[in-house]
């Protein structure tokens, strides 16, 4: 059940009484519910009493940035609240079951089109979050510098603060940072619009069978970052990759896949610890020499 404080905030925002709410499960950071209003509308609401004042505003900005590209559907943002912190969005009826080949093909094509949306620099006009961790998006003309400092370096700082960066791991990651320009063609990498956290838990199959992506950590960067993330936790259906390559062919991606998986692995190591650290070390050792 939503709290009385949240109920009052929603009724003030939507100018309609809340008649029912049903918990929605699936995330491990926020609470969520399907909320019914007296005027017949159904909305999706997520909230987190411990979230910072900009937490849901950052997600809303990411959703609107993706929506503006017109490539892939995202839920429409209705409202962002601060007291208590919440995000209210379009409720999307979904189909149960696994992604079909048609769905995978549509998602692959749509993500390729999203990556065709480009900017002058890597980054974004606002910082946001990856999971519950802060993600700096200060723009940079150099992808190598951005990935080194805003992604690997930033997670190293968090790991150091949380006691998850012993000297050997720090040495491995520092050496990898110094080798990035060997693996990454700084001049040839276009700043593509990225979802930023593209794993199978962050897409839905709408009732009409079309893809909907959710929970972005959006910014402009190397498009291979999104592809690498899709392969980190089980992978997407094969037709997704075939369709993507039909629209926007990849070249040499396999050589950099694990390098780009390092960032989400560092995020998971910092959030959850455990076995992610061994994978971080192995990738750093492979690319750092």
pLDDT at 227: 98
Residue 222 to residue 256: CA distance in whole angstroms? 11
Residue 180 to residue 145: CA distance in whole angstroms? 9
DSSP run (H or E) holding 79: strand 77-82
The residue with tokens 């995978």 is 104
Contact of 110 with 176, CB cutoff 8 Å: no
- State mean pLDDT over 31-54: 94
* Per-residue pLDDT band at 273 (split at 50, 70, 90): confident
- State mean pLDDT over 199-210: 94
Is 281 an annotated catalytic residue?
Answer: no
* Per-residue pLDDT band at 53 (split at 50, 70, 90): confident
Residue 176 to residue 159: CA distance in whole angstroms? 16
User: Percentage of the chain surpassing pLDDT 90?
Assistant: 91
**In the predicted model, what is the mean pLDDT of the chain?**
95
pLDDT at 121: 98
Single out the catalytic residue among 125, 197, 226, 281.
197
- State mean pLDDT over 173-193: 97
* Per-residue pLDDT band at 101 (split at 50, 70, 90): very high
Domains of the chain: 4-90 (3.30.200.20), 101-288 (3.90.1200.10)
Contact of 220 with 124, CB cutoff 8 Å: yes
* Per-residue pLDDT band at 51 (split at 50, 70, 90): confident
pTM: 0.96
DSSP run (H or E) holding 22: strand 18-23
């Amino acid at each position: 059940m939503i709290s009385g404080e949240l109920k009052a905030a929603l009724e003030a925002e939507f100018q309609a009484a809340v008649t029912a709410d049903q918990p929605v499960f699936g995330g491990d950071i926020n609470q969520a519910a399907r909320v019914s209003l007296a005027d017949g509308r159904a909305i999706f609401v997520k909230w987190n009493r411990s979230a910072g004042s900009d937490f849901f505003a950052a997600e809303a900005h990411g959703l609107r940035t993706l929506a503006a590209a017109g490539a892939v559907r995202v839920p429409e943002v209705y409202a962002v609240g601060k007291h208590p912190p919440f995000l209210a969005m379009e409720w999307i009826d979904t189909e149960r079951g696994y992604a079909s080949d048609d769905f995978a093909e549509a998602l692959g094509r749509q993500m390729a089109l999203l990556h065709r949306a480009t900017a002058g620099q890597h980054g974004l006009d606002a910082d946001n979050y990856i999971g519950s961790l802060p993600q700096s998006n200060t723009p940079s003309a150099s992808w190598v510098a951005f990935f080194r400092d805003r992604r690997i370096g930033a997670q190293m700082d968090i790991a150091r603060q949380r006691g998850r960066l012993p000297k050997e791991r720090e040495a491995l990651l520092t050496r990898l940072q110094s080798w990035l320009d060997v693996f990454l063609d700084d001049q040839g990498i276009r700043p593509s619009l990225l979802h930023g956290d593209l794993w199978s838990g962050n897409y839905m199959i709408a009732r009409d069978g079309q893809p909907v992506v959710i929970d972005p950590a959006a910014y402009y960067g190397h498009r291979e970052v999104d592809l690498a993330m899709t392969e980190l936790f089980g992978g997407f259906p094969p037709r997704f990759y075939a369709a993507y390559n039909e629209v926007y062919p990849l070249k040499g991606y396999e050589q950099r896949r694990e390098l780009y998986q390092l960032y989400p692995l560092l995020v998971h190591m910092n959030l959850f610890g455990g076995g992610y650290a061994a994978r971080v070390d192995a990738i750093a050792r492979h690319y750092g020499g």
